[in-house]
Amino acid sequence: MIYTPIAGWLYGEWAYQTEFKIRQNDNRVLGSKILGGTSLFLLDPVDVVGSGVNWMFGRQLVKAGYGYFTYMPVEKDGEIDHQVYLHVRIPIGPAGPSDDDEMKREFKQVDDPITTGIIGFGGGVGYTGMDNHWNVADGMYHKLNLGLYFTPRISMRLSYAFGDLKDKTTKETVEYENYSWDTQIYLLTKKKLRPYLSGGFGRQVRYEDNNDDTFQWNGGIGAHWQVHRKVALNADWINFYSPSRDTFDQQFNAGLIYRFGEGEHQNW
Protein backbone atom coordinates (compact mmCIF):
# COMPACT_ATOMS: atom_id res chain seq x y z
CA MET A 1 0.00 0.00 0.00
CA ILE A 2 1.56 3.29 -1.06
CA TYR A 3 0.37 5.16 2.05
CA THR A 4 2.18 2.79 4.46
CA PRO A 5 5.52 4.72 4.82
CA ILE A 6 3.79 8.01 5.65
CA ALA A 7 1.31 6.36 7.98
CA GLY A 8 4.21 4.61 9.75
CA TRP A 9 6.08 7.90 10.12
CA LEU A 10 2.95 9.57 11.53
CA TYR A 11 2.48 6.78 14.08
CA GLY A 12 6.15 6.88 15.08
CA GLU A 13 6.02 10.64 15.71
CA TRP A 14 2.81 10.27 17.74
CA ALA A 15 4.25 7.36 19.76
CA TYR A 16 7.42 9.34 20.56
CA GLN A 17 5.47 12.39 21.75
CA THR A 18 3.07 10.23 23.79
CA GLU A 19 5.90 8.30 25.46
CA PHE A 20 7.64 11.57 26.37
CA LYS A 21 4.49 12.94 28.03
CA ILE A 22 4.01 9.76 30.07
CA ARG A 23 7.66 9.81 31.21
CA GLN A 24 7.33 13.45 32.24
CA ASN A 25 4.21 12.51 34.24
CA ASP A 26 6.14 10.08 36.47
CA ASN A 27 5.20 7.15 34.20
CA ARG A 28 1.51 7.60 35.03
CA VAL A 29 -1.62 7.54 32.87
CA LEU A 30 -4.83 8.80 34.52
CA GLY A 31 -2.89 8.81 37.81
CA SER A 32 -2.06 5.09 37.54
CA LYS A 33 1.44 3.66 37.19
CA ILE A 34 -0.07 0.34 36.06
CA LEU A 35 -1.77 2.05 33.12
CA GLY A 36 1.40 4.06 32.57
CA GLY A 37 3.62 0.99 32.45
CA THR A 38 1.22 -0.84 30.15
CA SER A 39 1.05 2.16 27.81
CA LEU A 40 4.84 2.49 27.70
CA PHE A 41 5.19 -1.20 26.86
CA LEU A 42 2.69 -0.93 24.00
CA LEU A 43 4.38 2.23 22.67
CA ASP A 44 7.97 0.91 22.89
CA PRO A 45 8.11 -2.74 24.06
CA VAL A 46 11.79 -3.27 23.17
CA ASP A 47 12.92 -0.30 25.26
CA VAL A 48 10.78 -1.36 28.24
CA VAL A 49 12.09 -4.94 28.12
CA GLY A 50 15.68 -3.66 27.97
CA SER A 51 15.12 -1.40 30.99
CA GLY A 52 13.59 -4.33 32.87
CA VAL A 53 16.63 -6.53 32.17
CA ASN A 54 18.96 -3.78 33.45
CA TRP A 55 16.85 -3.40 36.60
CA MET A 56 16.83 -7.18 37.28
CA PHE A 57 20.62 -7.54 37.01
CA GLY A 58 21.49 -4.18 38.54
CA ARG A 59 23.78 -3.52 35.62
CA GLN A 60 23.68 -1.62 32.32
CA LEU A 61 23.53 -4.78 30.19
CA VAL A 62 21.21 -3.53 27.48
CA LYS A 63 22.49 -0.34 25.89
CA ALA A 64 19.75 0.20 23.32
CA GLY A 65 17.29 -1.75 21.25
CA TYR A 66 14.78 -1.48 18.48
CA GLY A 67 12.19 -3.54 16.63
CA TYR A 68 10.39 -3.40 13.33
CA PHE A 69 7.87 -5.30 11.22
CA THR A 70 8.30 -6.58 7.68
CA TYR A 71 5.61 -7.81 5.32
CA MET A 72 5.99 -10.51 2.66
CA PRO A 73 3.29 -11.94 0.36
CA VAL A 74 3.94 -15.64 -0.34
CA GLU A 75 2.10 -17.64 -3.01
CA LYS A 76 0.81 -20.98 -1.69
CA ASP A 77 -1.45 -23.37 -3.60
CA GLY A 78 -2.48 -20.63 -5.99
CA GLU A 79 -3.38 -18.22 -3.16
CA ILE A 80 -1.47 -15.36 -1.57
CA ASP A 81 -0.45 -15.90 2.05
CA HIS A 82 0.19 -12.57 3.80
CA GLN A 83 3.05 -12.98 6.29
CA VAL A 84 4.11 -10.35 8.84
CA TYR A 85 7.41 -10.75 10.72
CA LEU A 86 8.54 -9.01 13.89
CA HIS A 87 12.31 -8.33 14.08
CA VAL A 88 13.85 -7.35 17.42
CA ARG A 89 17.47 -6.30 18.04
CA ILE A 90 18.74 -5.81 21.60
CA PRO A 91 22.51 -5.09 21.69
CA ILE A 92 24.14 -6.32 24.91
CA GLY A 93 27.03 -4.25 26.22
CA PRO A 94 29.72 -5.08 28.82
CA ALA A 95 28.27 -5.55 32.28
CA GLY A 96 29.69 -2.65 34.23
CA PRO A 97 29.14 -2.07 37.94
CA SER A 98 25.76 -0.89 39.13
CA ASP A 99 25.55 2.88 39.13
CA ASP A 100 22.27 4.55 40.01
CA ASP A 101 23.25 7.75 38.24
CA GLU A 102 24.25 5.83 35.13
CA MET A 103 21.13 3.68 35.13
CA LYS A 104 18.72 6.58 35.53
CA ARG A 105 17.40 7.74 32.21
CA GLU A 106 16.65 11.38 31.67
CA PHE A 107 13.92 12.14 29.15
CA LYS A 108 14.19 15.53 27.52
CA GLN A 109 12.02 17.12 24.86
CA VAL A 110 14.12 17.70 21.76
CA ASP A 111 13.07 20.47 19.40
CA ASP A 112 12.47 18.62 16.16
CA PRO A 113 12.28 20.90 13.11
CA ILE A 114 10.08 18.28 11.43
CA THR A 115 6.77 17.60 13.18
CA THR A 116 3.47 15.97 12.28
CA GLY A 117 2.48 19.35 10.79
CA ILE A 118 4.42 18.28 7.70
CA ILE A 119 1.65 15.76 6.89
CA GLY A 120 -1.55 16.79 5.14
CA PHE A 121 -4.62 14.77 4.23
CA GLY A 122 -6.83 15.93 1.38
CA GLY A 123 -10.14 15.04 -0.19
CA GLY A 124 -12.24 16.41 -3.01
CA VAL A 125 -13.87 15.80 -6.36
CA GLY A 126 -12.79 15.95 -9.97
CA TYR A 127 -13.78 15.58 -13.59
CA THR A 128 -11.79 13.45 -16.00
CA GLY A 129 -11.44 13.86 -19.75
CA MET A 130 -10.65 10.42 -21.21
CA ASP A 131 -8.73 9.82 -24.43
CA ASN A 132 -10.88 8.47 -27.31
CA HIS A 133 -8.70 5.35 -27.35
CA TRP A 134 -10.43 4.05 -24.19
CA ASN A 135 -13.97 4.44 -25.58
CA VAL A 136 -15.02 5.61 -22.12
CA ALA A 137 -17.13 8.73 -21.48
CA ASP A 138 -15.81 11.60 -19.38
CA GLY A 139 -17.20 11.82 -15.86
CA MET A 140 -16.93 12.77 -12.20
CA TYR A 141 -14.89 11.00 -9.51
CA HIS A 142 -13.76 11.36 -5.89
CA LYS A 143 -10.15 11.96 -4.96
CA LEU A 144 -8.05 11.43 -1.80
CA ASN A 145 -4.44 12.36 -1.18
CA LEU A 146 -1.83 12.13 1.54
CA GLY A 147 1.04 14.59 1.32
CA LEU A 148 4.29 15.76 2.86
CA TYR A 149 4.45 19.57 2.86
CA PHE A 150 8.14 20.18 3.45
CA THR A 151 8.10 23.98 2.99
CA PRO A 152 5.82 26.51 1.28
CA ARG A 153 8.03 25.88 -1.79
CA ILE A 154 7.73 22.11 -2.23
CA SER A 155 5.49 19.19 -1.35
CA MET A 156 4.91 15.59 -2.43
CA ARG A 157 1.53 13.87 -2.61
CA LEU A 158 0.20 10.35 -3.02
CA SER A 159 -3.19 10.58 -4.73
CA TYR A 160 -6.01 8.14 -5.38
CA ALA A 161 -8.99 8.97 -7.63
CA PHE A 162 -11.97 6.62 -8.01
CA GLY A 163 -15.37 6.75 -9.69
CA ASP A 164 -17.82 5.14 -12.11
CA LEU A 165 -17.66 6.05 -15.81
CA LYS A 166 -19.65 4.76 -18.80
CA ASP A 167 -18.57 2.73 -21.81
CA LYS A 168 -19.55 4.77 -24.88
CA THR A 169 -20.74 1.71 -26.82
CA THR A 170 -22.39 -0.58 -24.27
CA LYS A 171 -23.35 2.15 -21.74
CA GLU A 172 -22.16 -0.22 -19.02
CA THR A 173 -20.42 1.05 -15.92
CA VAL A 174 -16.63 1.14 -16.00
CA GLU A 175 -14.87 1.44 -12.63
CA TYR A 176 -12.15 4.09 -12.88
CA GLU A 177 -9.13 4.34 -10.57
CA ASN A 178 -6.02 6.48 -10.80
CA TYR A 179 -2.97 6.26 -8.49
CA SER A 180 -0.18 8.83 -8.67
CA TRP A 181 2.92 10.08 -6.86
CA ASP A 182 3.45 13.79 -7.55
CA THR A 183 5.73 16.66 -6.62
CA GLN A 184 4.45 20.24 -6.35
CA ILE A 185 6.63 23.36 -6.76
CA TYR A 186 4.90 26.46 -5.37
CA LEU A 187 5.31 30.07 -6.48
CA LEU A 188 4.63 33.25 -4.43
CA THR A 189 5.35 31.33 -1.24
CA LYS A 190 4.85 34.37 1.01
CA LYS A 191 1.26 34.72 -0.18
CA LYS A 192 -1.82 32.85 0.97
CA LEU A 193 -2.72 32.09 -2.67
CA ARG A 194 0.13 30.14 -4.26
CA PRO A 195 0.18 28.90 -7.87
CA TYR A 196 2.09 25.66 -8.35
CA LEU A 197 3.51 23.28 -10.93
CA SER A 198 2.91 19.55 -10.49
CA GLY A 199 4.56 16.49 -12.01
CA GLY A 200 4.85 12.79 -11.33
CA PHE A 201 3.84 9.30 -12.39
CA GLY A 202 1.31 6.60 -11.57
CA ARG A 203 -1.16 4.06 -12.92
CA GLN A 204 -4.66 4.28 -14.33
CA VAL A 205 -7.02 1.31 -14.01
CA ARG A 206 -10.38 0.64 -15.65
CA TYR A 207 -12.42 -2.42 -14.65
CA GLU A 208 -15.01 -3.95 -16.96
CA ASP A 209 -14.93 -7.62 -17.95
CA ASN A 210 -11.14 -7.44 -17.64
CA ASN A 211 -9.05 -4.83 -15.89
CA ASP A 212 -6.95 -2.46 -18.00
CA ASP A 213 -3.87 -1.17 -16.15
CA THR A 214 -1.76 1.59 -17.71
CA PHE A 215 1.39 3.39 -16.55
CA GLN A 216 1.25 7.19 -16.98
CA TRP A 217 3.42 10.27 -16.58
CA ASN A 218 1.59 13.39 -15.45
CA GLY A 219 2.10 17.14 -15.25
CA GLY A 220 -0.02 20.21 -14.72
CA ILE A 221 -0.71 23.48 -12.91
CA GLY A 222 -2.73 24.39 -9.86
CA ALA A 223 -3.47 26.90 -7.11
CA HIS A 224 -3.13 26.46 -3.33
CA TRP A 225 -4.98 28.81 -0.96
CA GLN A 226 -3.78 28.64 2.67
CA VAL A 227 -6.98 29.56 4.51
CA HIS A 228 -5.59 28.66 7.96
CA ARG A 229 -2.30 27.17 9.12
CA LYS A 230 -4.07 23.77 9.27
CA VAL A 231 -6.54 24.15 6.40
CA ALA A 232 -6.06 24.91 2.70
CA LEU A 233 -8.07 24.73 -0.50
CA ASN A 234 -6.56 23.59 -3.78
CA ALA A 235 -7.52 23.18 -7.42
CA ASP A 236 -5.48 21.88 -10.35
CA TRP A 237 -5.53 20.73 -13.97
CA ILE A 238 -3.40 17.64 -14.59
CA ASN A 239 -2.56 15.94 -17.89
CA PHE A 240 -1.72 12.22 -18.01
CA TYR A 241 0.31 10.58 -20.79
CA SER A 242 0.69 6.84 -21.38
CA PRO A 243 3.84 6.10 -23.42
CA SER A 244 2.74 2.50 -24.13
CA ARG A 245 -0.70 3.51 -25.48
CA ASP A 246 0.16 7.03 -26.68
CA THR A 247 -2.93 8.40 -24.91
CA PHE A 248 -3.66 11.70 -23.18
CA ASP A 249 -6.15 11.98 -20.30
CA GLN A 250 -6.95 14.98 -18.14
CA GLN A 251 -8.11 15.64 -14.59
CA PHE A 252 -9.71 18.79 -13.19
CA ASN A 253 -9.57 18.63 -9.37
CA ALA A 254 -10.80 20.71 -6.43
CA GLY A 255 -10.54 19.86 -2.75
CA LEU A 256 -9.56 20.63 0.83
CA ILE A 257 -6.30 19.82 2.64
CA TYR A 258 -6.01 19.34 6.41
CA ARG A 259 -2.58 19.55 8.06
CA PHE A 260 -1.88 17.49 11.18
CA GLY A 261 -0.24 18.78 14.36
CA GLU A 262 0.28 22.53 14.39
CA GLY A 263 -0.01 22.79 10.63
CA GLU A 264 2.16 25.15 8.66
CA HIS A 265 4.92 26.88 10.64
CA GLN A 266 4.08 30.40 11.67
CA ASN A 267 7.51 31.69 10.60
CA TRP A 268 7.13 30.40 7.02
Q: Is residue 207 within 8 Å of 244, Cβ to Cβ?
A: no
When pLDDT is averaged across residues 183-212 and rounded to a whole number, the result is: 86
**Cα–Cα distance, 138 to 238 (Å, whole number):** 15
Residue (of 36, 65, 34, 38) closest to 51 by Cα position: 65
**Cα–Cα distance, 51 to 47 (Å, whole number):** 6
**Cα–Cα distance, 164 to 187 (Å, whole number):** 34
Within a domain: 266:
no
The range of the structural domain enclosing residue 188 comes to 116-259
Within a domain: 45:
yes
Quick one: what percent of the chain has pLDDT higher than 70? Answer: 62
When pLDDT is averaged across residues 188-217 and rounded to a whole number, the result is: 85
The pLDDT, as a whole number, for residue 260 is 87
179-192 per-position pLDDT tens digit: 999 999 999 988 99
**Cα–Cα distance, 10 to 118 (Å, whole number):** 10
The pLDDT, as a whole number, for residue 252 is 97
- Structure letter (DSSP) for residue 117: G
The pLDDT, as a whole number, for residue 150 is 84
Whether 138 and 84 map to the same domain: the answer is: no
Q: Is residue 250 within 8 Å of 135, Cβ to Cβ?
A: no
CB count in 10 Å sphere of residue 238: 24
* 177-to-141, 142, 161, 243 alpha-carbon distances in Å: 9, 10, 5, 18
Whether 178 and 245 map to the same domain: the answer is: yes
Poorest-confidence range of 50-59, 128-137, 150-159, 162-171?
Answer: 50-59
The count of domains in the chain is 2
The pLDDT, as a whole number, for residue 98 is 44
Whether 129 and 245 map to the same domain: the answer is: yes
Whether 129 and 234 map to the same domain: the answer is: yes
Quote the mean pLDDT of the chain.
Answer: 78
Domain boundary among 103, 129, 161: 103
End-to-end CA gap in the chain: 32
Within a domain: 234:
yes
Within a domain: 13:
yes
Whether 25 and 61 map to the same domain: the answer is: yes
The pTM for the full model equals 0.61
* pLDDT(104) > 50: no
Whether 128 and 97 map to the same domain: the answer is: no
When pLDDT is averaged across residues 70-76 and rounded to a whole number, the result is: 65
Domain boundary among 73, 103, 133: 103
Pick the most confident of 42-51, 105-114, 171-180: 171-180
